Structure 1
Amino acid sequence: MTELKVQPAARRDALSFCIGGVALFAVTMFLYLADFDFPQAAWALLYIASAAIFLLGVAKMVEPPVSLVITPQNIRYEHRRGTWQLEWDNLLRFDIPRTHRGLELEELPYIGFRVHDMEPVLDSISPRLAVYLVSEQRHLLAAALRREQPELNDYTPYYDIPTSYKAPSGKLYRGVQALFAVRCEQLRQLLGYDLYVPASALDRPLDEFCQWMQQVKQHRQTVKSESDKR
């Protein structure tokens, strides 16, 4: 298996949005200079819309061109705020996380990774990314608590900031690493996975991506088995 790269869907049409924003602004300016009789609110709406479309395009363009790098050794998540890395041998399973909604199971817009040992991930994650993921996943934690622990009246302990985190090996983590480790532990208890990659970071629908990842995993295992026999 060679190195595989996943390009995020969030970057799609970035240039089109930028061009569209500039074009709308140019048309608005032309109409204004031509003394078209529009209400003041309409002019403001056109300016706001052109700026919003352009800024959306810029936001898409600043996203990394690659979100996941998959090699025979590991899976690396790339984000503009940093990276985390997960060894294949440290990966237990992956799938779309689901929560209970009444008697049904509802899929969440993520792919989840269940990890055997979080220490290598904690050692690899950049502090800026750890802080960002804790903040980004607050709504994921809130949804999981509402649906998986509806009997709880006080969710405060889930949002407390820990002073430290003690790994099973006895290693002590502090600061943002401890905060990220506790959040991963909470989500594992509620949803069954430690690490989460949003659907917007993938290049295909979640179910197709999981099938593709399974094929990659099987191919890797086949190549590894053949290499061990030599």
Structure 2
Amino acid sequence: MTELQVQPSAKKDALTFCIFGVVVFALTLFLYLAGFALPQAAWGLMYIASAALFLLGVAKIIEPPVSLLISPRTIRYEHRRGHWQIDWDNVLRYDIPSVRSGLERDTLPYIGFRLHNIEPVLDEISPRLAVYLVSEQRHLLAAALRRETGPDHDYTPYYDVPSKFVSASGKVYKGVQALFAVRSQQLRELLGYDLYVPASALDRPLEEFLDWLKQVESHRPRNTTDAN
């Protein structure tokens, strides 16, 4: 097994968003110069829409061309703000997380990884990526709290900023590392996983990616000395 690369599907639409943003801007400018009578709010909305589309496209373009690097030894998540990396031997399980919906469960647009030990991730993750993930996953936490806890549950502790985090081995983390560690612990408690890769970072639908990843794992050489 050689190193496998996963290219994010979200990046494929980057140029389309940029072009569409330019087209909307050009159309708005043409209508304005042609003297079309539109409410001031409509002009403003069209300009804002064109800028938003263009900036969204640019944001997709500057994302790394590869979101996941999978080797016989490690899984590495790449983001423009940094990366995290886990050893296959540190993965307890992985799946598509879900939340309660009446008598059934609704899947969430992520692949979740449950780890034996999160310390290697805390030791390596960049502060910029840690802060971004905590912010990005607020809606994930909110969905889990609404569906997995009772209506009278006190949510306040889940949004408090921790002063420190003490790992299972007794190592103390502070600042951004502590914040990320506590958020990972909360999501593990509610959804069962420590780390989450969004569906937009994958190159195929969630179920297909999960099946593919299981096949990759089944063909992974054990006791490899490959260094990623």
* TM beyond 0.5: yes
Structure 2: state its 5+ residue gaps. Answer: none
CA distance in 2, matches of 1:151, 1:25: 45
What secondary structure, in the 3-state scheme, does the structure 2 residue paired with 1:92 have?
Answer: strand
What secondary structure, in the 3-state scheme, does the structure 2 residue paired with 1:224 have?
Answer: coil
What secondary structure, in the 3-state scheme, does the structure 2 residue paired with 1:217 have?
Answer: helix
Structure 1: state its 5+ residue gaps. Answer: none
What secondary structure, in the 3-state scheme, does the structure 1 residue paired with 2:193 have?
Answer: coil
What secondary structure, in the 3-state scheme, does the structure 2 residue paired with 1:78 have?
Answer: strand
Alignment of 1:1-230 (within 5 A): 1-33=1-33, 35-41=34-40, 42-150=42-150, 152-220=152-220, 223-224=221-222
How big is each residue's C-alpha offset from its partner over 1:7-66, in whole Å with a ceiling of 9 and x where there is no partner? Answer: 112212211221222233234334444x34332445444333322221221121122211
How big is each residue's C-alpha offset from its partner over 1:64-101, in whole Å with a ceiling of 9 and x where there is no partner? Answer: 21111111111111111111110111011100001111
CA distance in 1, matches of 2:177, 2:45: 44
CA distance in 2, matches of 1:188, 1:156: 18
Q: Is the 8 A contact 1:67 1:77 kept in 2?
A: yes
What secondary structure, in the 3-state scheme, does the structure 1 residue paired with 2:145 have?
Answer: helix
Misfit runs of 4+, over 6 Å: none
Cα 1:103/1:226, change in 2 over 3 Å = same
What amino acid is the match of 2:146? R
Q: Is the 8 A contact 2:72 2:224 kept in 1?
A: no
- Bigger drift between 16-25 and 54-63 goes to 16-25
What amino acid is the match of 1:204? R
The two structures have a TM-score, normalised by structure 1, of 0.90
Cα root mean square deviation, aligned? 1.9
- State percent identity of aligned pairs: 68
The two structures have a TM-score, normalised by structure 2, of 0.90
CA distance in 2, matches of 1:172, 1:43: 54
Q: Is the 8 A contact 1:10 1:63 kept in 2?
A: no
